[in-house]
């Protein structure tokens, strides 16, 4: 008796495979567990990455507690607080998006993903404004630096941005008017610009930690944008919402990291 050949994969599972069940998985539950496990393994590597930064922060804060607290005063704590609220609310909208996807509510899913995108861009916009403050406010504070000028204390201005060094406008002008001796002093003053300090070390860690977090935020926004497009096309259903859950896990990681960064840098004092 003639038999009808089944499509690829149908012989193994009794039906054609869709997104909710790839051919190399036995059940949709197994596929979801594998995807979730893979995502958690990736998140552990991300935690290890930020863990090195947190360790460096701990060591230097222990070494320079007073300077650490003084440098933190130059961060914009109100804006940091607003950004914290923005991210916490975005975590809520992502959780609601996951719930909507599991229930097959496409309209609600698109709404929550859209709000998450807006909140993500708002966070980056606020952070960009904070960065612009630091770069525009080079002469952020004054501190006597005796070890730079051969034991003589001078009121010098130190830039907040690492690598900008110290500014000695009065000393260099006086040195330039003293001939050869002045030339030597001016050279010392110029060299001093390349020196760093614990204040700039604080801001170096600040820019590294928050900058790396911002990169992850950009990646998260890209992921949410792709998920929004796929949801608009009707890819996700009540039986297939794993990508939404996986993307939500990544977004929650971004939020959790910021919950640690905010008090470590903004609330030191």
User: Residues, the chain, total?
Assistant: 269
Tens-digit pLDDT profile for residues 201-211: 888 899 999 99
Whether the predicted pLDDT of 141 surpasses 70: no
Tens-digit pLDDT profile for residues 163-197: 555 444 444 444 444 443 444 433 334 333 433 55
Which residues of the chain are in CATH 1.20.120.80 domains?
A: 29-138+197-266
Any residues with CB less than 8 A from the CB of 167 and at least 6 apart, and which? 138, 139, 156, 157, 158, 159, 193
Sign of CA dihedral 232, 238, 242, 246: positive
Among 7-11, 84-88, 95-99, the range scoring the smallest mean pLDDT is 7-11
Distances (CA, A) of 260 to 28, 63, 91, 116, 190: 36, 20, 15, 21, 38
| CA 159/CA 11 separation, integer angstroms | 70
- pLDDT given at position 11: 39
How large is the average pLDDT for residues 14-40?
A: 65
- pLDDT given at position 7: 42
CATH number for the segment(s) 29-138+197-266: 1.20.120.80
Whether the predicted pLDDT of 157 surpasses 90: no
Helix (H, G, I), strand (E, B) or coil at 155: strand
Bridging pattern class, strands 141-144 and 155-158: antiparallel
Between CA 175 and CA 180, with CA 176 as vertex, the angle to 5 degrees is 85
How large is the average pLDDT for residues 240-269?
A: 92
DSSP 240: B
Between CA 235 and CA 243, with CA 241 as vertex, the angle to 5 degrees is 85
DSSP 6: P
- pLDDT given at position 136: 73
Whether the predicted pLDDT of 149 surpasses 80: no
Q: Name which of 219, 212, 205 is nearest 247 in CA terms.
A: 219
Number of H helices, E strands in the chain: 9, 3
């Amino acid at each position: 008796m003639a038999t009808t050949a089944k499509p690829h994969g149908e012989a193994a599972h009794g039906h054609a495979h869709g997104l909710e069940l790839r051919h190399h998985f036995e059940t949709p539950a197994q596929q979801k567990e594998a995807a979730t496990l893979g995502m958690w393994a990736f998140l552990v590597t991300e935690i290890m990455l930020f863990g090195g930064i947190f360790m460096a922060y701990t060591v230097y804060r222990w070494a320079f507690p007073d300077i650490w607290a003084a440098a933190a005063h130059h961060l914009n704590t109100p804006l940091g607080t607003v950004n914290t609220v923005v991210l916490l609310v975005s975590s809520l909208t992502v959780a609601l998006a996951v719930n909507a996807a599991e229930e097959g509510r496409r309209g609600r899913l698109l709404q929550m993903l859209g709000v998450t995108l807006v909140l993500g861009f708002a966070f980056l916009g606020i952070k960009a404004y904070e960065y612009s403050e630091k770069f525009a406010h080079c002469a952020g504070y004054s501190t006597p630096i005796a070890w730079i000028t051969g034991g003589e204390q001078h009121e010098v201005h130190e830039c907040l941005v690492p690598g900008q060094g110290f500014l000695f406008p009065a000393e260099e002008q006086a040195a330039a008017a003293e001939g050869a001796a002045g030339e030597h002093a001016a050279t010392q003053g110029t060299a001093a610009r390349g020196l760093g300090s614990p204040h700039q070390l604080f801001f170096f860690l600040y820019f590294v930690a928050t900058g790396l977090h911002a990169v992850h935020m950009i990646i998260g926004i890209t992921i949410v944008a792709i998920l929004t497009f796929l949801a608009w096309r009707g890819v996700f259903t009540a039986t297939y919402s794993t990508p939404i859950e996986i993307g939500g896990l990544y977004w929650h990681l971004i939020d959790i990291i910021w919950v640690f960064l905010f008090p470590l840098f903004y609330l030191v004092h």
